[in-house]
Structure 1
Amino acid sequence: MGKTRRHFHTFDALRFFSFLLVFLHHIPVPESHFASFFSKSGGVGVIFFFVLSGFLITYILLEEKSKTGKILLKKFFVRRVLRIWPLFYGMILFAYLTPYILQFLNLSSSNQGYNPNWLMSLFFLENYQMMLTNSFPNVSPLRLMWTLCIEEHFYIFWGIIMYYIPIKKVPHLILGSIITASVFRIVYLYLGLSTLDLLTNLDYFAFGAIPAYLLIEKNEVIHKISSISISIKYGIATIILVLSFMIPNLSYSLLYNIAPVLYGICFTCLILFTLCYRNELKIPDNYWISKLGIYTYGLYLFHIIIINLLLRLGDKLELGIAWYSFSIIALTCTILISMTSYYVFEKPFLRLKKHFY
């Protein structure tokens, strides 16, 4: 099958926005500053990553199955490996060397969290190690890799399920996934467990699968949504943006079960608005936010390393940099390193993907 899949404009921009939410969450913003209101939405950024991933993976699998009647599962997994594994294992190697690097730079290491179990890290099980210890690894960027573990588990689970079930059963899979995650979140809350596994995050991917299914199988729905005026769509998008910052600042226990569904519905709508044939929400590929979105994988993994390194250097040199200046320096360094990583290290592996379509 040739690589003729639809290009989704705006998605790179949405990825970069999701990264910015995570980045702001890790910046040392003073609690007394109004900006702290915006720095609490890191989890929302991760959720949006999951929803986007659910859409793209479901679209890829459904598009292949609808055209050929089958899914070449081996090639699908190889493409995922080429995208995820090189930088993932590069970061594990960096994390392993971190104590020696800090010692060489005469910088202090973290005394918070657990010493990594490298076997758990290597086999995409860091999220379960964090759940078992109710803590986080003491080296960067391992503490972020629970999300990549969930992504990897999703690829395997979703790929195998989609391989076997007929397309007409996909809505049942989506609904079952949403119910499953909701139930397991309640169970984990009762047991005092962190929601850091696929079972408690599966609904986010499932919500992303909804627009993918509609695009492939129910295209008339996309046409109907296209008829909604652009002003209404921008109004809804603005409400979604406001909710993304407002909900994390609320502490009502009821939100524990309501917020995931609300996020899922909101982000599903946002994706649908970008898929419209007219009156679509569109951020062109030549905009800076879209161009930076290409490097999101590296941005996500490198930013925590840069932030922690700059914090330690600032403490050692007693620089006393204001948090906003610190943010600009950290973001600039993260972007430059991520761009270098993409073109020098990641792209050679990405070029190999063309052999597995």
Structure 2
Amino acid sequence: MPFRLTYRPALDGLRGVAILGVFAHHAQVPYLRGGFIGVDIFFVLSGFLITALLLQEADETGRISLRSFYIRRALRLFPALAVLLGAFVLFPRVFGMTRADAAMASGAAAFYVSNWVRAFDLLDLEALSHTWSLAIEEQFYLLWPPVVALLVVLGVRRKWLILVAVAGIAEATVMRVVLWNGAESWRRLSNGLDTRLDGLLIGALAALVLASLSSLDVLRRRAFRVVVVAAALTLVTVLHYGRAAAPPMYFGVGSLVSLCAALVLIGTFAADTWIGSLLEFGPLVWIGRISYGLYLWHYPVIAGVFENHRLARLGVDPAWSIPIQIVASLALATSSFYLLERPMLRFKQRFGSRVSGGPEGVGTALAEPRSRYRTSPA
């Protein structure tokens, strides 16, 4: 049976792992300093889901509606971000920022250029620094879907799309080496679209490979399952030992993390795997469902509202810092999900793609509420 993009709770579970890793990294949780690889997992998920969605729309309708795609993306992502930025502009001191700095940082986030602001050290984004990854994803959406749509219109064979993805992965890898040898800062290497494109395109490549299979039986072979387990163990190892600014992350380890994440992702489409069962753990799936709001709010909580030094000045025992940050982040993310994101999803469905079976329900790797990943779908 060929690949079809149907809902899999394990993908939400993988999102849950990603956001928990990012939270642990920012909260400086001991033994999980490599949690920054959660962003790499998000990139892989995003590239995979968006590409699979575009391919299925092309297969079932013969075309790709970029207009509907971008409307869905805007409705999915911007409202929750706008609420966050509004809070910064209205109450900057709550987040430990001046009004002027909060306004400039919010502007960079609103126009999705935070990554370049960080890459060239143009402004200290402070508690909005984490929006760099959202900017990279949005810039990817401006480039990749038109490429896929153009090749569909031209009737080009899918193998050429695979070659384009491989070329993009190679470009990012080479660019990191060139910039490192040119004495560029780790911020430039870590925040540029040109240097982080490989994670997104590895995810896209995973979707292209799955879509090219005539049967998913190969995923059930023992050898592939062993590879998936090895990939998962590699991710766990980097999660523990990884260091964000360490040179190995730019010379192979970063791409290896993305490749391992893609293998685990593909492995969720095989039946009855223990890794898939772990990723389908209920609370983890729920965390994955609210992961967009959790990503938006967790860093302002950790670096701003309930920053460690602030809590210390209030006489809070340091042992309570992380629990307070967890509770506050979950409360804000849950409110965002149920009061804003889910209602916006219902409105967004009016712009569902023309794939048979109803409105689309796939979102970015930074989470669609109850992402349905239907064959018939942002």
- The normalised TM-score by structure 1 is 0.85
Change (3 A) 1:305 1:253: closer
Q: Aligned letter for 1:188? A: L
Give the secondary-structure state (helix, strand or coil) at the position aligned to 1:282: helix
Shift of 1:7: 0.9
Aligned equivalents of 2:43, 2:197: Cα separation in 1: 9
Q: 1:61 aligned to 54, 70, 75, which one?
A: 54
Aligned equivalents of 2:262, 2:105: Cα separation in 1: 37
Shift of 1:264: 2.2
Aligned equivalents of 2:93, 2:235: Cα separation in 1: 42
Asked if 1:121 is matched to 2:114, the reply is: no
Residue equivalent to 2:164: 173
Residue equivalent to 2:42: 49
Change (3 A) 1:123 1:326: same
Listed one character per residue, the Cα deviations across residues 90-131 of structure 1 (whole Å, up to 9, x for unaligned) are 2222222232546xxxxx648xx9972554333111211222
Q: 1:161 aligned to 147, 150, 161, which one?
A: 147
Q: Aligned letter for 1:172? A: L
Aligned equivalents of 1:317, 1:83: Cα separation in 2: 37
Aligned equivalents of 1:280, 1:212: Cα separation in 2: 22
Q: Aligned letter for 2:142? A: I
Change (3 A) 1:333 1:115: closer
Aligned runs of 1:155-234 on 2, under 5 Å? 155-165=141-151, 166=156, 167-189=158-180, 190=182, 192-193=184-185, 194-195=188-189, 196-220=191-215, 222-228=216-222, 232=226
Which segments of 5 or more consecutive residues in structure 2 lack a partner in the other structure? Answer: 353-378
Aligned equivalents of 1:132, 1:249: Cα separation in 2: 21
Give the secondary-structure state (helix, strand or coil) at the position aligned to 1:87: helix
Give the secondary-structure state (helix, strand or coil) at the position aligned to 1:145: helix
Aligned equivalents of 1:93, 1:130: Cα separation in 2: 21
Q: 2:321 aligned to 298, 322, 326, which one?
A: 326
Aligned equivalents of 2:313, 2:173: Cα separation in 1: 46
Change (3 A) 1:217 1:230: closer
Shift of 1:192: 1.2
Q: Aligned letter for 1:296? A: S
Q: 1:314 aligned to 311, 314, 330, which one?
A: 311
Aligned runs of 1:1-357 on 2, under 5 Å? 5-29=5-29, 35=30, 37-38=31-32, 40-101=33-94, 109=97, 116=104, 118-133=106-121, 136-138=124-126, 140=127, 142-165=128-151, 166=156, 167-189=158-180, 190=182, 192-193=184-185, 194-195=188-189, 196-220=191-215, 222-228=216-222, 232=226, 235-249=229-243, 253-279=247-273, 281-283=275-277, 287-307=282-302, 308-311=304-307, 313-322=310-319, 325-357=320-352
Change (3 A) 1:242 1:99: closer
Change (3 A) 1:168 1:48: same
Aligned equivalents of 2:26, 2:227: Cα separation in 1: 31
Which segments of 5 or more consecutive residues in structure 1 lack a partner in the other structure? Answer: 30-34, 103-107
Q: Aligned letter for 1:11? A: L
Change (3 A) 1:335 1:253: closer
Aligned equivalents of 2:292, 2:203: Cα separation in 1: 19
- The normalised TM-score by structure 2 is 0.80
Listed one character per residue, the Cα deviations across residues 189-237 of structure 1 (whole Å, up to 9, x for unaligned) are 22515121221111101111122112222243x3212122797367425
Indicate if the aligned counterparts of 1:227 and 1:278 stay in contact, CA closer than 8 A.
Answer: no
Indicate if the aligned counterparts of 1:178 and 1:206 stay in contact, CA closer than 8 A.
Answer: yes
| Residue correspondences, number | 336
Indicate if the aligned counterparts of 2:235 and 2:257 stay in contact, CA closer than 8 A.
Answer: no
Give the secondary-structure state (helix, strand or coil) at the position aligned to 1:133: coil
Q: Aligned letter for 1:287? A: G
Change (3 A) 1:71 1:204: same
Give the secondary-structure state (helix, strand or coil) at the position aligned to 1:116: helix
Q: Which stretch shifts more, 169-178 or 249-258?
A: 249-258
Indicate if the aligned counterparts of 1:52 and 1:208 stay in contact, CA closer than 8 A.
Answer: yes
CA RMSD, Structure 1 to Structure 2 (Å)? 2.7
Residue equivalent to 1:105: none
Give the secondary-structure state (helix, strand or coil) at the position aligned to 1:257: coil
Listed one character per residue, the Cα deviations across residues 124-179 of structure 1 (whole Å, up to 9, x for unaligned) are 112112222266313x2x21111100011111111111111133322112101111
Change (3 A) 1:297 1:313: same
